Chain A
Amino acid sequence: MTRQQAGPVTGPGPDSTARHARGASARRRAAYPYAMYLPAAVVYLVIFLIPTGMAFYFALTRWTLFDSTFVGLDNFRDFLAEQNLRIGFQNTLFYAVVTSGLKVVLGLLLGVLLTSKLRLRGFLRSVVFFPVLVSTVAVGITFSMLLAPDTGLVDKALALVGVSGPDWLGGASTALLSVALVDVWKGVGLATVIYIAGILSIPQDYYQAVAVDGGTAWHRFRHVTLPLSWPATYSVIILSFIGGLRSFDLIWTMTRGGPGFTSDTIASIIYKQYQAGFFGLSTAGNVLLFLMVTVIMVPLTYLLGKRQVTT
């Protein structure tokens, strides 16, 4: 707890000068000779920095893998003129909000449940975590089968109670939501594990204090567990929101952005352009996606981080 509170310091005073001093002294006597940093630096440079820099350049070209012609900002204009971009943006945001929201709520509830004195607790924890380990593509294919109209298990189960299920993945109104729910099923295990860790790190003293004051289970949850598991909530929101923004694999296996364009996200639009051989255009799309994730995540991280310091 103390380390977390000392971590992202924004205030003035001795700490920032101390860090300054530490930085200066570190520079004077580095732990290793610079040559020893070289291999890692080369790998980082060649595999990350150079391609990133190149992407920013190729986004400005019409590029066939063999040769490229410089076209200025044409690609960005074409990408922004993409007719389904609006749907893509809406879907991406919807998907990110729905999945991260549900993962927070369900993860917290499962976390509370699985930290209680439950028989088979270990077993249940592994059951909840298991979907995280399965390959996303396998999950997508499996659920495509389960959600198939008439023949799928879900519709068969619904038929037993007399409900005729919709065409989950083939219908325009249900496709994106179905994929989002499968994403939650797959990802909630990770959220739960983060919450379990968060809840277990809350000192017992607080619960004892609530007990002394005669509080009920609801009070324990509302005034101790919920506020003190904030660091966990923070991690879950950040992780699942970024995951939701760049979501692609599950959507691609289950609907391919379809039917039509109704479940397209930014990532699937970019992928389709790449598939069509519009390499420059899709690189421009990636640059825009990068900027969009930054624009959303930097303030969000700042906001959530600040909240974390104050609680």
Chain B
Amino acid sequence: MKTSHRALGTALAILTTATLASCGSGSEPAATGGTVTLSFMTGSDQATVATTKALADGFMKANPTIKITIETQPGGSEGDNIVKTRLATGEMTDVFWYNSGSLLQALNPAQTMVDLSNDPVLANVQTDYLPVVTNAGKVYGVPAASAAGGGILYNRKVYDQLGLSVPKTWADFMANNEKIKAAGITPVIATYKDTWTSQLMVLGDFFNVQAAVPDFAQQYTAGKARFASTPAALEGFQHLADVQAKGYLNKGFGSTTLDQGLKMLVEGKGAQYPMLTVLLPPLLAANPQAATDIGFFGIPGDGAANGATIWEPNAIYIAKTTKHLAEAKKFLAFVASTAGTDAVSAAVQPTGPYRVKGAKLPDNAIQAAKDVQTYIDAGTISPALEFLSAIKGPSLEQITVAVGSGITKPADGAAQYDQDVQKQAKQLGLPGW
């Protein structure tokens, strides 16, 4: 009897403490007096943290009564789980930074985020950005950083020396490769030790796919269009095999890493590298010449259209559980304004154009970012497939390595990828598969 009383007492004590503690954390923002505190969860990689700080500092300067506290999540699938769990349990920060495109769909935005459709917050967001932050017809986020191009990074010095011009078709590209090879320079850098880097030839080719088959993304999501049976989509796999078959790749491409590849490109030992422009700004500290030497062009296709595939920036969203909706919206409006992009430009080198109306790249922006801007200004862009469809097969990187190393034939690789996609769709429980 005595022990059970004591146990009861202990349990009560614990309960009381827990309740008190939760009360404490709940009422904390009010305790800071006249100011309101917005909590902001962001990613933990260096560029994201720097961008986040620049945005928060810029906003606090303009709005001294609002304070922003930043916390980070580890990124990757671990970060995904944290974001999902905290949204599901109602413990998310007021605003948070997260991927746009297919990953957003997995967060179940209708239940967890504040709908911004037709809200003045979006006034300055470029309209062709909106689809990647839209779920079931409702818009949820604003672009947090600059876009990136996915295509060919090339060494402009090598191009100048050999008198080459930027190729508009795949045939031009291969002709350039022949000349570069004859000059004793590696035409195309491949870094298949970091397997994800092998996907660019396929993913970066999406502009050409869309130019040939405008509704490919919808048909593909519905399970009706396949890579193997769509000639334009098969091209990406074919290109991958072509550069290897012709001997245009660096020696030992199977054990070369991303860092080694970037180094080869900057040093001019390799002329071209299928890659994202995101990778360039971190190089600048050690290789300032990368800012001007490295340019960008979209992967050329066989068709008449010439353009580039864009990786849209991540977005900032408002959690439905926020108690400071007005302040959160004010912050998002700041992010999606030229004041916001200027604040970011002052802190980090943009990897490509901003998706905010009127925002300009700074004069000292890297050449590759300016090249991407040219494509955007001309309107010859398409978001990458992963921003238009929730389905991306997890084995693409292994398949592209196999095709790019000459182990698997392009048509077989595309067929394997179709099966991989089917597996993913089944696991997601999508209709029509």
By a beta-carbon cutoff of 8 Å, the part of chain A in contact with chain B is: 62, 65-66, 69, 74, 78, 82-83, 144, 147-150, 167-172, 175, 256-262, 272-273, 275-278, 280-281
Residues of B contacting A69 with CB < 8 Å? 429
Contact of B254 with A259 in the complex, beta carbons under 8 Å: yes
Nearest-CB residue, chain A, relative to B250: A149
Q: Which of A82, A170, A260 makes the CB contact (< 8 A) with B255? A: A170
Question: 8 tightest A-B contacts by CB?
Answer: A170-B254, A260-B402, A149-B252, A276-B394, A170-B255, A167-B252, A259-B254, A260-B407
Q: What B residues does A280 contact at CB under 8 A?
A: 427
Is the CB–CB distance between B405 and A83 below 8 Å?
no
How many angstroms between the C-alpha atoms of A167 and B251 in the bound complex?
9
Q: Give A165's nearest chain B residue, CB to CB.
A: B252
Q: Which of B81, B192, B255, B420 has the most CB of A within 10 A?
A: B255
For B253, the closest partner residue in chain A by CB is A170
Size range of the chain B interface in the assembly: 20 to 34
Q: Are A277 and B252 in contact (CB under 8 A)?
A: no
B416 within 8 A of A: yes
Q: B residues within 8 A CB of A256?
A: 195
Contact A170 B193 (CB under 8 A): yes
A residues in contact with B254, CB < 8 Å: 167, 169-171, 175, 258-259
A261: chain B residues within 8 A (beta carbon): 398, 402
Instruction: Decide: A169 near B77, CB < 8 A? Known: A276-B394, A281-B427.
Output: no
Chain A contacts for B416, CB-based, 8 A? 83
CB <8 Å contact, A259 and B395: no
Q: What CA separation (Å) do A260 and B416 show in the bound complex?
A: 12
- Asked whether any CB of chain A lies closer than 8 Å to the CB of B419, the reply is yes
In chain B between 313 and 350, which residues have their CB closer than 8 angstroms to a CB of chain A? none
B423 within 8 A of A: yes
Q: Whole-angstrom distance from the CB of A34 to the nearest CB of chain B?
A: 22
Chain B residues within an 8 Å CB radius of A277: 77, 394, 427
Q: How far is the CA of A261 from the CA of B400 in the complex (A)?
A: 10
**Alpha-carbon distance A256/B88, docked complex (angstroms):** 33
Q: Find out whether the CB atom of A66 lies under 8 angstroms from the CB atom of B88.
A: yes
Q: Which residues of A contact B256 (CB under 8 A)?
A: 170
On whether the beta carbons of B402 and A170 are closer than 8 Å, the reply is no
Q: How far is the CA of A167 from the CA of B426 in the complex (A)?
A: 37
Quote the shortest CB–CB distance from B182 to chain A (angstroms): 22
Instruction: Tell me if B398 and A260 are in contact (CB < 8 A).
Output: yes
Beyond the given pairs A275-B394, A277-B77, 7 more chain A to chain B contacts, judged by CB atoms under 8 angstroms and listed by A's residue number, are A78-B426, A259-B192, A259-B407, A260-B403, A260-B407, A260-B408, A276-B424
Query: In the assembled complex, which residues on chain B have CB atoms less than 8 Å from the CB atom of A82?
Result: 423
A148 to B191, CA, bound (A): 13
For B192, the chain A residues whose CB sits under 8 A away are 170, 258-259
| Given A78-B423, A170-B192, A170-B255, CB of A259 within 8 Å of CB of B88 | no
Q: Which of B234-257 contact A (CB under 8 A)?
A: 251-256
Task: Report the minimum CB–CB distance from B322 to chain A (whole Å).
Answer: 22
Q: Are B402 and A83 in contact (CB under 8 A)?
A: no
* Chain B proximity of A185: nearest CB distance (Å): 19
- Flag if B251 contacts A149 (CB, 8 Å): yes
B152 close to chain A: CB less than 8 A: no
Report B-chain residues with C-beta under 8 Å of the C-beta of A65.
81
- What are the residues of chain A within 8 A of B290 when measuring CB–CB? none
Q: Which residue of A has the minimal Cβ distance to B84?
A: A66
Query: Which B residues lie within 8 Å of A168 (CB)?
Result: 255
- Would you give the 0/1 interface string for B84-104, flagging 1 where the beta carbon is closer than 8 Å to chain A? 100010000000000000000
Contacts A66-B88, A83-B416, A275-B394 given; indicate if A260 touches B429 (C-beta within 8 A): no
CB closest residue in chain B, given A279: B427
Q: Which residue, of A66, A257, A277, has the highest number of chain B Cβ atoms within 10 A?
A: A277
Nearest to B399 among chain A residues (CB) is A260
Q: Which residues of B contact A170 (CB under 8 A)?
A: 192-193, 252-256, 405
B20 CB → nearest A CB, Å = 30
* B384 interface residue (CB < 8 Å to A): no
**Contacts of B81 on A, CB cut-off 8 Å?**
65
B366 at the interface (CB under 8 A from A): no
Pairwise interchain contact A258-B398, C-beta atoms closer than 8 A: yes
Q: Are A260 and B394 in contact (CB under 8 A)?
A: no
Residues of B within 8 A of A272 (CB): 394-395, 398
Instruction: Determine the chain A residues whose CB is within 8 A of the CB of B217 once the complex forms.
Output: none
| Residues 168-205 of B at the A interface (beta carbon under 8 Å) | 192-193, 195
A45 to chain B, nearest CB (A): 24
* Cβ contact within 8 Å between B394 and A62: no
CB pair A148 B252 closer than 8 Å: yes
Taking the complex as formed, is B401 at the interface, i.e. its CB lies under 8 A from any CB of chain A?
yes
User: A278 to B394, alpha carbons, bound, how many Å?
Assistant: 10
B61 → chain A closest CB, angstroms: 40
Residue of B nearest to A269 (CB): B395
Q: Given the complex of chains A and B, what is the CA–CA distance between A149 and B408 in angstroms?
A: 22
Pick the contact of B427: A144, A171, A172, A278 (CB < 8 A).
Answer: A278
Indicate the member of A148, A169, A170, A280 with the most B CB atoms within 10 Å.
A170
**A167: chain B residues within 8 A (beta carbon):** 251-252, 254-255
- Counting chain B CB atoms within 10 Å of each CB, the highest count among A149, A258, A276 belongs to A258
A219 to B429, CA, bound (A): 67
The answer to whether B429 touches A62, judged by C-beta atoms less than 8 angstroms apart, is yes
Partner of A257, one of B84, B252, B398, B408: B398
CA distance A66 to B255 in the complex (A): 38
CB distance from A142 to the nearest CB of B (A): 14
Quote the shortest CB–CB distance from B264 to chain A (angstroms).
13
The answer for the CA separation of A142 and B7 in the assembled complex, in Å, is 55
A287–B59 CA distance with the chains assembled, in angstroms:
53
Taken together as a complex, chains A and B put the C-alpha atoms of A150 and B77 apart, in Å, by: 35
The answer to whether B77 touches A275, judged by C-beta atoms less than 8 angstroms apart, is yes
Chain B residue, CB-CB nearest to A281: B427
Contacts of B88 in A (CB 8 A): 66
Closest to A66 in B: B88
- Chain B residues, Cβ within 8 Å of A281: 423, 427
Nearest CB on B from A82, distance (A): 8
In chain B, positions 20-47 with a C-beta closer than 8 Å to chain A are none
Give chain A residues whose Cβ lies under 8 Å from the Cβ of B395.
Answer: 272, 276
- A78 to B, closest residue via Cβ: B423
